[in-house]
């Protein structure tokens, strides 16, 4: 059974409700309880909220999904991944590396529109479903 870590780039489009391709992907995953998230993804979404009502709406929508804690193991994996990429001249945001480390550690597929993850996938083991927006 595949499990998915949906990046904020996809959630933003999903909550806009106008992209049928994304809706067709996400709604079945919600129904099948296959969605995971971490604090980075939720924080990115909440930071972008336009008002308190939207902030609360977004926050409450994640209560039914499986939350992944970022512990010492994840930070170690993040550092190793970032170190390996940096040695090859690829410098990426820490947020993306943490998301990739979670996905790699827990065997999750990252669903994203962020091209940074394509760079990560080239260098480390990462199951990626890239969506063009």
Alpha-carbon span 57 to 113, nearest angstrom: 23
Q: What is the CATH number of the domain that holds 109?
A: 3.40.50.1010
- Average pLDDT over every residue of 119-133: 92
Q: Is there a contact between 41 and 102 (Cβ–Cβ < 8 Å)?
A: no
28-64 per-residue burial string, b: 16 or more CB within 10 A, e: under 16:
ebeeeebbbbbebbbebbeeeeeeeeeeeebeeebee
| Residues 4-47: tens digit of each pLDDT | 999 999 999 999 999 999 999 999 999 999 999 999 999 999 99
| Residues 62-102: tens digit of each pLDDT | 999 999 999 999 999 999 999 999 999 999 999 999 999 99
Number of domains, the chain: 1
| Residues 111-124: tens digit of each pLDDT | 999 999 999 999 88
Q: What is the DSSP string of 46-111?
A: HHT-SSHHHHHHHHHHTTTSEEE---HHHHHHHHHHHHHHHHTT----HHHHHHHHHHHHHTPEEE
Q: State residue 123's pLDDT score.
A: 86
Q: Which domain holds residue 98?
A: 4-130
> Is the confidence at residue 1, as pLDDT, over 70?
no
Query: What is residue 8's DSSP assignment?
Result: H
- Average pLDDT over every residue of 104-131: 95
Structure tokens at 79: 């550092």
Distances from the Cα of 77 to the Cαs of 5, 40, 72, 106, 132, in angstroms? 17, 15, 9, 12, 27
Return the bridge partners of 127, or none. Answer: 109
């Amino acid at each position: 059974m595949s499990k998915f870590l949906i990046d904020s780039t996809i959630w933003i489009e999903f909550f806009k409700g106008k992209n049928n391709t994304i809706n067709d992907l996400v709604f079945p995953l919600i129904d099948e309880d296959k969605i995971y998230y971490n604090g980075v993804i939720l924080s990115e979404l909440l930071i972008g909220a336009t008002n308190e009502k939207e902030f609360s709406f977004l926050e409450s929508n994640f209560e039914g999904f499986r939350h992944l804690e970022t512990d010492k193991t994840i930070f170690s994996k993040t550092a190793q991944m970032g170190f390996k990429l940096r040695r090859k001249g690829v410098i990426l945001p820490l947020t993306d590396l943490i998301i990739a480390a979670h996905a790699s550690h827990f065997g999750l597929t990252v669903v994203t529109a962020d091209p940074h993850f394509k760079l990560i996938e080239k260098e480390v083991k990462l199951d990626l479903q890239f969506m063009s927006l």
